[in-house]
Structure 1
Amino acid sequence: MNLDNISGMVDAIPLIMIYIVPGYIILRISNFQLSKKADHDQYILLKSLVVSFVFVSLEETLWKLVFPGTQTLCSPAFRNTVIASSAAVGLLWARFLISERFERILFELGIYKTLRSGIWGGVVDFEYGLWLMVYIPADKVIYAGKLRRYMEIEAYGNYVIFLSNYTLYNYNAEVLKDYVTDNDKWVSLHSKDIGRVELFYHQ
């Protein structure tokens, strides 16, 4: 391998990067938003190449409409614009996929499935909030409060939920603890201890 070959390879790096990096950024941001793991995706480079090709082709078309007669792939301004816009596209695309509008489109097509992550991703209403009544059979108590966080433990198929503004009752409906006006008092509940959950949406 002579110096000309090495120089040619170095010159080709920006072109290679522009057809891999944008797609990779879009996929990684989308996967993060959808809580999908891509660490062991053996086809991530191929997917990145395909997504980048489509995305860069669209960007080229728009660029030539806005800046007619200018170079695209050789332009640092174009490459920087593609990289920056790929991050925005990845974020907006993932938000669209988990939006109610996209879910309605799927339902109209007869596809009764969402792309939200796990059981709680499909039921939490971040606009109006979600209140829960959680029954703990072992202790014969009920927690009623506002869902603040949830964490799914993928390795075991379990989850942990965090409630605030909660009230603790026994099975006789007697109040044991009342923090309904306290936003700072939280409680964590593990799915292995939960017998039943009732959901209430406030509008």
Structure 2
Amino acid sequence: MDMSQVVCAIGRQGPEGVQLLGTGFAVSTTRIATAFHVVGPSDENLVVALPRYQDLSQYQDTSDRQLRAVSARMAAPDPVRDLCILEVEQYRMSFPYSLDGTDSVPPGTPVVTWGFPHANFGRLVLTQQQAHVGARILIESAGAKSKHIVLNTQAREGQSGGPVLDPSSNSVVAVLIGSYAPGGGGGISLGGVDPATLHQTTHAISAEYLREML
């Protein structure tokens, strides 16, 4: 199965249509994992956009604004580790990978990410990117330390919540969180971009924590 069938965009239905928020991916037949900051504390009007193409080799029409979406609800939020699992009852999924963790990918390991960069501008283009693990780190939040990896790639808004896959084992090892932004960002925006995020230092949290949430 092509990853385009199991990596999806997450949005929120509003009066002017669906506002795209980020990326998610299948972790069971009815559940999708993403980053908690993508959806926030409320699942009101939350939707998942269904795949629009059969495989990633097809040309994705950026002028096509049609969107098929199904409602989603929050099944298991973890704001401390910035992870969330959503339940989607109107759509069934199967996926070609297993869930692993960052212990299996030391620095130098090539990995592949999937997501929807620039989704905050309404751009719905599933994008595959190659990267390498640059470091393995522990990040403390609310008194708990969690395993992360640093990817040598530049992430953009919309990619948060996407899977990081180790192709050698065909396993998802991490969930993309976003670019490292010291102090939470630079406090300014140029063309919708925070200059503090313009570097190749992207964090992803170990997917092992998803197994505990399922």
TM-score range, shorter chain: under 0.3
Specify which structure has the higher proportion of helix.
1
Specify which structure has the higher proportion of strand.
2
TM, length-normalised to structure 2:
0.19
TM, length-normalised to structure 1:
0.20
> More relative contact order in 1 or in 2 (CA 8 Å, sep 6+)?
2
